[in-house]
């Protein structure tokens, strides 16, 4: 299958802004070790110093350069969110297509599990497991995958049902191809448009969820720089050092905003209704 990508939609100013914000954050995350003036975990100054020529955004509550930590703050969140969402979208899309193709008891059992999971708030689900398993990056990746997989299964299953009734699937069945071959070689490539849009939408959700978990002390563990954790640490100094909260909050909001606009741009370019991906 060849994806029909309409590049003209990228002329929309909001879509251009979104893609530019995402690109900027990716460049900062990749280049942070090269452009940050100090080691983000090194204690180099007094606690909560005001911005100065040496420390552009001052120091945090432990005396670490805040600007360096801000530049590094999105690296782990983006890595965990990307890996977790990639797992959820890949496995969830294959499961959704399998449900649509096989139907029967398999479809019924999977969809009842999906309904149960979607009834649980994602942040509560992660909090319960993090409390028991710890706050390591592999645990967070696995939990992000589990949180978003049910929504992906439901959306891709609905799209796959419309594809399975088409002639090319019937032709593959008449050729004697197995169910696994039809799912992987025939149906999966023809649902890539909705799969790509699902990935983009879930990325913005995952970044915001990870930041919220870090703010609550259940996400990325210190001393690793993380914007949600930085907001949590800076709340107590809000009255005399508001930049300790406002700077990481600005970075979180611009990244999520960019990802949302980017997802809408991708959906528009592929002719997909992005609102469908917001279910679950």
Give pLDDT tens digits for 8-53.
777 888 889 999 999 999 999 999 999 999 999 999 888 888 898 8
Architecture of domain 7-35+73-278: Orthogonal Bundle (1.10)
Mean pLDDT for all residues in the chain: 89
DSSP category for residue 59: B
Q: Of 62, 26, 76, which Cα lies nearest the Cα of 254?
A: 26
Answer whether the bond into residue 223 is a cis peptide, omega within 30°.
yes
Give pLDDT tens digits for 139-194.
899 999 999 999 999 999 999 999 998 999 999 999 999 999 999 999 999 999 99
Sequence spans of domains, the chain: 7-35+73-278
Distance CA 251, CA 228 (A): 10
Distance CA 258, CA 242 (A): 24
Give the pTM.
0.89
Q: Which residues contact 61 (CB under 8 A, 6 or more apart)?
A: 47, 48, 233, 234, 236, 237, 244
- Where on the phi/psi map is residue 8: left (φ > 0), alpha (ψ -120 to 50), or beta? alpha
């Amino acid at each position: 299958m060849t994806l029909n990508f309409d590049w003209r939609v990228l002329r929309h100013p909001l879509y251009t802004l979104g893609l530019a914000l995402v690109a900027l954050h990716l460049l900062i995350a990749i280049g942070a070790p090269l452009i940050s003036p100090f080691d983000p975990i090194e204690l180099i100054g007094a606690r909560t110093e005001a911005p100065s020529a040496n420390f552009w955004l001052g120091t945090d509550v432990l005396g670490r350069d805040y600007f360096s930590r801000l530049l590094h703050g999105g690296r782990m969140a983006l890595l965990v969110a990307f890996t977790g969402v990639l797992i959820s979208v890949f496995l969830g899309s294959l499961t959704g297509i399998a449900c649509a193709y096989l139907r029967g008891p398999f479809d019924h059992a999977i969809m009842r599990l999906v309904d149960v999971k979607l009834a649980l708030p994602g942040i509560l689900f992660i909090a319960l497991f993090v409390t028991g398993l710890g706050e390591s990056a592999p645990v967070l990746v696995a939990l992000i995958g589990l949180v978003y997989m049910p929504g992906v299964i439901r959306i891709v299953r609905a799209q796959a049902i419309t594809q399975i009734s088409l002639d090319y699937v019937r032709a593959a069945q008449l050729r004697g191809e197995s169910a696994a071959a039809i799912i992987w070689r025939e149906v999966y490539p023809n649902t890539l448009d909705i799969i790509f849009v699902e990935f983009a939408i879930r990325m913005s959700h995952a970044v915001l969820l990870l930041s919220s978990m870090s703010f609550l002390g259940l996400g990325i563990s210190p001393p690793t720089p993380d914007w949600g954790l930085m907001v949590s640490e800076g709340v107590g100094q809000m009255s005399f050092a508001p930049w300790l909260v406002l700077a990481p909050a600005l970075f979180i909001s611009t990244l999520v905003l960019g990802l949302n606009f980017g997802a809408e741009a991708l959906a528009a370019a592929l002719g997909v209704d992005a609102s469908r991906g917001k279910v679950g």
